[in-house]
Amino acid sequence: MSILDRIADGWRKYRKPGYYDEFDYHWGMTVDLDRCTGCEACVTACQSENNLPIVGEKAFAEGREVKWIRIERYWEGEFPDVKLRFIPMLCQHCDSAPCETVCPVSATYHNQDGLNTQVYNRCIGTRSCAVYCPYEVRYFNFYDHHWDSPLDQQLNPDVTVREKGVMEKCTFCIQRIRQAKDVAKDDGRRRVRDGEVQPACVQTCPTQALVFGDRKDPESQVSKLMNNPRTYRVLDELNTDSSVVYLKKVEDDHA
């Protein structure tokens, strides 16, 4: 076996979906569309928690806004018989993610907690991941953003302020997960309890449409919701095996 074969072999092994035999945690989220009112509180919460820039009018018109979670709007039917549907769209943390296979520098990869990671200081900004992401939830920093005083005082010290030229996306609030693990260790527990860690969007949702938790724990709220017959995954036909599961809206068409 030549050295080239060995390198190629290692590469293939790393790129294989389901690289881990077993996840340590398996973080997941359910989004109950029956509860979602489209209020965008999650969008605001994410913005302030994760130091997302407010890009301004010009950049927004160019489609260069940064929103790790956004509410997509779909109109159905003709006026006056119309229905409005909302879908909160965030990084799906796919277990076989298309974005991970294309990064030339492995700045994005899957970690043992079932999270799709993005390492900012390793990213060189090829933007291939954004091209491959079927959910369009990866955002590129086209500009160096700044926060006018006193707004810079509200920046979260646990999250990096990303600079121009790197890709960024939802992290499931890794800083909060890290904090919860830290607290668990201090208490002498090996695992984080269910409900102990919530991303900013989940914490803020007024109707509790978003639920976050460990899918490996069969007793967690998120695991129970995933057995609901209403569940579906967005673009499931692409076999991305995503960690975010949506619960279909219940409708009575004959009312």
Partner 1 sequence: MNVSIVPALKALIPAALVVAVVLLGLVVGFWANAAFYPGTSPEQPIAFSHKIHAGENEIPCMYCHTQARRSISAGVPSVSKCMGCHNEVATQRPQIRKLKNYWENKEPIPWIKVHDLPDFVHFTHKRHIAAGIECQTCHGPVETMDQIRLTDAAPMEMGLCLNCHKQKEVANGLDCWTCHK
Residues numbered 125-184 forming contacts with partner 1, rule: CB under 8 A: 158-161, 174-175, 178, 182
Q: Which of 121, 149, 153, 154 binds partner 1 (CB under 8 A)?
A: 121
Contacts of partner 1 in 216-245 (CB under 8 A): none
Backbone φ and ψ of 41, nearest 5°: -65, -35
With respect to partner 1, which residue has the nearer C-beta, 95 or 113? 113
33 sits near partner 1 (criterion: CB under 8 A) = no
| Sign (positive or negative) of CA dihedral 152, 153, 156, 158 | positive
Helix (H, G, I), strand (E, B) or coil at 186: helix
Tell me how crowded residue 25 is: count the other CB atoms within 10 A of its CB: 20
Q: Which residue has the tokens 């090829």?
A: 126
Q: Are 146 and 71 in contact (CB under 8 A)?
A: no
Q: What is the DSSP letter of 88?
A: E
Sole binder of partner 1 in the list 19, 120, 142, 147 (CB under 8 A)? 120
Chain-centre distance of CA 84, in angstroms?
A: 24
What is the C-alpha separation between 207 and 33, in angstroms, rounded?
10
Q: Which of 112, 207, 208, 239 binds partner 1 (CB under 8 A)?
A: 112
Could you tell me the smallest distance in angstroms from the CB atom of residue 97 to partner 1? 15
Which residue's CB is nearer to partner 1, number 108 or number 220? 108
Nearer to partner 1, 40 or 158 (CB): 158
The interface with partner 1 within residues 178-217 (CB under 8 A) comprises 178, 182, 185-186
Q: Total number of residues binding partner 1 (CB under 8 A)?
A: 21
What gap in Å lies between CA 248 and CA 216, rounded to an integer? 23
Smaller CB separation from partner 1, 31 or 47 = 47
Select 36 or 169, whichever has its Cβ closest to partner 1: 169
Give whichever of 6 and 122 is closer to partner 1, judged by the CB atom. 122
Cis-peptide, bond into residue 80, ω within 30° of zero: yes
Residue 191 CB-half CA count within 13 A: 13
Among 27, 68, 109, 135, binds partner 1 (CB under 8 A): 109
Give least dist CB 117 to partner 1, A: 5
For position 24 contacting partner 1 by CB under 8 A, the verdict is yes
Residue entry with tokens 């609901």: 228
Joined tokens for residue 84: 């409005």
The residue ranges that bind partner 1 (CB under 8 A) are: 24, 109, 111-113, 115, 117, 119-122, 158-161, 174-175, 178, 182, 185-186
